[in-house]
């Protein structure tokens, strides 16, 4: 693994560790989901670095995954990437619609998205080693 790839994965691991610290905080579900999005984004950017796929300045998880997919086709539900992608801006700024299309995520939803992010991290880390 290249050093820059390891750095991306270390930072993704930090996001996942942050989530573990927050998992039972019902009022922080938007923060949990934000860090889940960040973890997946960093994993994908690490893969992009590892395979020298170019510099991509985007937070769009679907777009990033399209670059990663030829090497690691691990996501079977693109809708979950879209849902996490919505977390990037919508969790940072309040609006009148809410966080996800149906409002602030429940603790159950936040845990599901965390589980997805952790799975992406673990699968790709395992395959890279």
pTM tops 0.75: yes
User: What residue has token string 């919508």?
Assistant: 90
Domain of 84 in residue numbering reads as: 3-128
pLDDT bin (cut points 50, 70, 90) of residue 96 is very low
- Which position has the higher pLDDT, 98 or 5? 5
- The answer to whether residue 25 scores a pLDDT higher than 60 is yes
Dump the DSSP string for the chain: --HHHHHHHHHHHHHHHHHHHHTT-GGGHHHHHHHHHHHHHHHHHHHHHHTT--------HHHHHHHHTTT----S-HHHHHHHHHHHHHTTS--SS-SBTTBSPPHHHHHHHHHHHHHHHHHHHHHH-
pLDDT bin (cut points 50, 70, 90) of residue 129 is confident
Q: How many structural domains are present in the chain? A: 1
Bridge partners of 100? Answer: 103
CATH (domain of 63):
1.20.120.330
pLDDT at 95: 57
pLDDT bin (cut points 50, 70, 90) of residue 87 is confident
- Which position has the higher pLDDT, 101 or 126? 126
């Amino acid at each position: 693994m290249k050093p820059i790839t390891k750095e991306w994965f270390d930072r993704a691991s930090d996001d996942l560790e942050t989530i573990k610290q927050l998992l039972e905080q019902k009022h922080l579900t938007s923060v949990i989901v934000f860090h889940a999005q960040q973890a997946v984004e960093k994993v994908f950017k690490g893969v992009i670095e590892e395979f020298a796929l170019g510099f991509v300045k985007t937070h769009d998880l679907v777009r990033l995954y399209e670059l990663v997919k030829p090497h690691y086709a691990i996501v079977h539900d693109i809708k979950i990437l879209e849902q996490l992608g919505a977390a990037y801006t919508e969790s940072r700024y309040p609006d009148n619609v809410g966080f996800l299309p149906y409002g602030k995520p429940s603790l159950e939803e936040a845990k599901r998205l965390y589980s997805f992010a952790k799975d992406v991290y673990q699968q790709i880390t395992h395959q890279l080693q």
